[in-house]
Amino acid sequence: MAGEEKIQKKPAQEGQEEQAGTQETQEEAQEEQEEVQETTAPERDEKELPFPRATITNRLREHLAKGKQIKGQVKDEMNVWVGKMIQRVAEKMDSQPYTFVNYEMLKEAIAPYESIQEIDSERKALSGGLKKIQEDCDKLIEEIDKGSKKKVASLKFEGDKLPFPKATITNKLRMHLSEGKQIKGPVKKGLNIWAGKLVKAIAGKMNSHKYNYVDGGMFREAIETYESIGEIEIEKVRIIKQLEAVKLSCDVLVSEVERKFVK
């Protein structure tokens, strides 16, 4: 029986070995084909290249290990790439609003390409600065909200004597509320008391003048601050929205910095 098992396993093993050998042969053939394609790829017309082919090849050989083969594709792509780099430097200098280009402009144009080793530290600095802006935005938003909430918590409208008839205040409220909206009792009372305090405050401001009368000019001056409160509240909302937009912009910028600032 043992002999029969060995006889049965042998063909299976041979099949696996044949399959592995076939796969290896296919991979080798594919590699050879790719190498042939690269070797036989048509070279660009030298007129299309920014530099003589021999010039780039010689510069490459100066910095490669002796005897290392340079594929034709590398020679041409290096040729084109160096030309593009010179174009970028020229365009950077040309962006200056002068009728000449000088050595300082050249250094400014080349400097970013010479600081590749510092890219990581620049990335950290930029990301850190943008995140600090986000933190400052959060603090300012919190400060604006905290001031409003603190004032709301401290407000109390108490008193037994109402300065205005209840029905008058209720009717004025209904004129400016959505139809069918229920008005709770504390709202009617609180608004009544606050309206009385409002009249008292305005009267006090007008009374501060040394004249024995109050006129329209004094009245408009007294209510000026109250009239601007609505605009101030709108401006606070606008500022908060702008700060939120700044935070979102910083998020996008941080993502771009992390993606692009790589060695």
Torsion on CA atoms 143, 228, 234, 145, rounded to nearest 10? 20
Spans of all domains in the chain = 20-114, 119-260
Residue 130, classified by CB atoms within 10 Å of its CB into exposed (0-12), middle (13-18) or buried (19+), is buried
Which three-class secondary structure state does DSSP give residue 142? helix
The pLDDT, as a whole number, for residue 64 is 92
Q: Contact at 8 Å (CB) between 37 and 70?
A: no
At 7, is the pLDDT very low, low, confident or very high (cuts 50, 70, 90)? very low
Q: Contact at 8 Å (CB) between 105 and 121?
A: no
Q: Contact at 8 Å (CB) between 165 and 195?
A: no
Residues 70-89 have a mean pLDDT of 90
CA distance 251 to 259: 12
Looking at the chain, the whole-number percentage of residues with pLDDT higher than 90 is 14
pTM of the model: 0.44
Q: What is the pLDDT of residues 149-201, one digit of tens each?
A: 666 666 666 766 888 888 888 888 888 889 888 888 888 888 888 888 889 88
Average pLDDT value for the chain: 80
Residue 31 has pLDDT above 60, yes or no: no
Q: Do domains 20-114 and 119-260 have the same CATH topology?
A: yes
Helices (H), the chain: 2-40, 53-63, 72-94, 103-114, 119-154, 166-175, 185-207, 216-260
Residue 9 has pLDDT above 90, yes or no: no
Q: What is the pLDDT of residues 94-143, one digit of tens each?
A: 999 999 999 999 998 888 877 777 777 878 888 889 889 988 888 888 88
Residue 247 has pLDDT above 80, yes or no: yes
119-260 has which fold? Answer: Histone, subunit A (1.10.20)
Residues 48-61 have a mean pLDDT of 88
Of 1.10.20.10, 1.20.1540.10, 3.40.50.1220, 3.40.50.261, the CATH number of 20-114 is 1.10.20.10
CA distance 38 to 247: 49
Residue 6 has pLDDT above 80, yes or no: no
Handedness of CA 216, 221, 222, 224 (dihedral sign): positive
At 5, is the pLDDT very low, low, confident or very high (cuts 50, 70, 90)? very low
Residue 111 structure tokens: 């400097």
Residue 72 structure tokens: 């034709």
Residue 217 structure tokens: 């000019």
The pLDDT, as a whole number, for residue 20 is 53
At 203, is the pLDDT very low, low, confident or very high (cuts 50, 70, 90)? very high
